[in-house]
Amino acid sequence: MRIVRDNGLTLVLVASSLLTIGAMLLTGWGVYNEELAQHGGPQLDLLTYALSGHFLSAIFENWESEFLQMSAYVMLTAILFQRGSAESKDPDEPAAQDEDPKQKRDAKDAPWPVRAGSLARSLYSYSLGIALAVLFVLSFLLHLRYSAEDANAEALSHGQPAVPILQHLASAQFWFESFQNWQSEFLSTAVLVVLSIFLRFRGSPESKPVAAPHSETGS
């Protein structure tokens, strides 16, 4: 089917996301109920666990780091270079990637913001980075909310008082949860940028042609 061929990458990634979220839900449910049993607490059904701070904090903790990685990557690659990397613009030909969209304002197949005018066109020019940054902020706030909820649930189970969300924001625990993911995202991106200088994967747009010299920059 043409729709599958044309959208196969998105379909596989979405399906993989749903399958792994489902697996995370089931395994997390088992782990959390085991912890509750060790403390003599009541077991949770699957739906209650899916709405719990324990599960949702873990979900948004990971989404937060992914959107941070992608937004930072999009913005940094607009201004910084790595010679030889398939993930970088060529520092000797930066203008080739940055054609003024005003030149295409009369093109019938141009996206409507390009044809609409200066404000819409300016926002659209940076819309990918803006959207990813907004998703990062939303995920960060949701991670904070459910991390605080999970921490308070654990505190109450040990007879300790709950803490306000702003106090949780200042806690080492919350920032440990964030930094342990952020560091891995920046490291994996740096590894990809550097490895794409020397290594290839034939057929991937993330790789240079197999016979391309190591000094060639961009895919």
- Residue-by-residue pLDDT tens, the chain, 219 positions: 899 999 999 999 999 999 999 999 999 999 999 988 988 888 999 999 999 999 999 999 999 999 999 999 999 999 999 999 999 988 888 665 677 888 878 788 888 888 887 888 889 999 999 999 999 999 999 999 999 999 999 898 888 999 999 999 999 999 999 999 999 999 999 999 999 999 999 999 899 999 999 999 987
| 211/140 same-domain check | yes
In a domain, 180, yes or no: yes
In a domain, 29, yes or no: yes
- pTM here is 0.92
In a domain, 56, yes or no: no
| 158/217 same-domain check | yes
Q: How far is CA 108 from CA 102, 112, 114, in A?
A: 13, 9, 10
Domain extent for 183: 63-219
| 44/77 same-domain check | no
* Domain count across the chain: 2
In a domain, 104, yes or no: yes
Nearest to 30 by CA among 55, 63, 56, 60: 55
In a domain, 159, yes or no: yes
| 94/181 same-domain check | yes
